[in-house]
Chains A and B, each alone.
Chain A
Amino acid sequence: ETGVTQTPRHLVMGMTNKKSLKCEQHLGHNAMYWYKQSAKKPLELMFVYSLEERVENNSVPSRFSPECPNSSHLFLHLHTLQPEDSALYLCASSQAEEANYGYTFGSGTRLTVV
C-alpha cells in the first residue's frame, strides 16, 4: 500500500459507543496529524504527533483520545461522542524537517453520531 490509509471509511456510532479510527502512512514520514472537517467549515487541527510525541492538542474534548504507537500508525479513540462531532476526520502525515513539502492526507473517515 502507498500513501496514507484510513479505516474505516464510514462509521455510524451511538453516543454511548466506543470506537477507534486508524491511520497508517507508508511514506516514511515522522509527523502525523488529526484534523476535523465539518460541513462548509475549514479544517480544524486536533492533534499533532512529531517523532511519536504529542506536540499539540488544540483544546479537543477528552472524548477524543489520540494514540501514536509508532511513526507509521495513528489512532483516534472515540467515546461518548455528541451529534455535533459528526464530521469528516482526516489524518495527514509529513516530514517534520521539510516544511516545503506539505502534507499528504488520507481519504478520511466520515463519522456520524446518532
Chain B
Amino acid sequence: RKEVEQDPGPFNVPEGATVAFNCTYSNSASQSFFWYRQDCRKEPKLLMSVYSSGNEDGRFTAQLNRASQYISLLIRDSKLSDSATYLCVVNSGSNDYKLSFGAGTTVTVRA
C-alpha cells in the first residue's frame, strides 16, 4: 500500500466554483501534514500546513481526520491561477522529519 494516495483527477471546474479533494495516508504515527502546490514544470511549493483542528488560509481550507487517516483540501471561489497539481504530504512517523509525497491531484480552472 502506498504511504500517501490521492485521486489524480483532473478536476475541471469553472471560475468561481468550489472544488474539494482528499488524500489518505497509511502511517497512523504521522504527525505532520501539508498541502503543496506544483505548477507545470516547476518545483513544489508549500501551500499550507494542516492542523488537527482544521485551518483556513484565504480561499483554502484544509481538514485532517486522524481516525480515518485522510486529509482534505477545499478551494472556494476558484481562480484561473489555482490551476496546478496539489500534492498531499505526510511525515513518515512521529517527529520524523522525512516526508512522503502523494502523486498529486490536478486541478484545472476554466474561464
Contacts and interface: CB of A to CB of B under 8 A. Distances in A.
Contacts of A95: 97
Interface in A72-114: 88, 90, 94-108, 110
A102 B34 contact: yes
B92 to A, nearest CB: 9
B8 to A, nearest CB: 9
B103 A102 contact: no
Contacts of A41: 103
A48 interface: yes
A105 B42 CA distance: 10
Residue of A41, A95, A105 with highest tally of chain B CB at under 10 A:
A105
Contact of A94 (B43, B95, B97, B103): B97
Interface of A: 31, 41-43, 45, 48, 50, 56, 88, 90, 94-108, 110
8 contacts: A31-B97, A48-B98, A96-B97, A98-B97, A101-B49, A102-B36, A105-B44, A110-B41
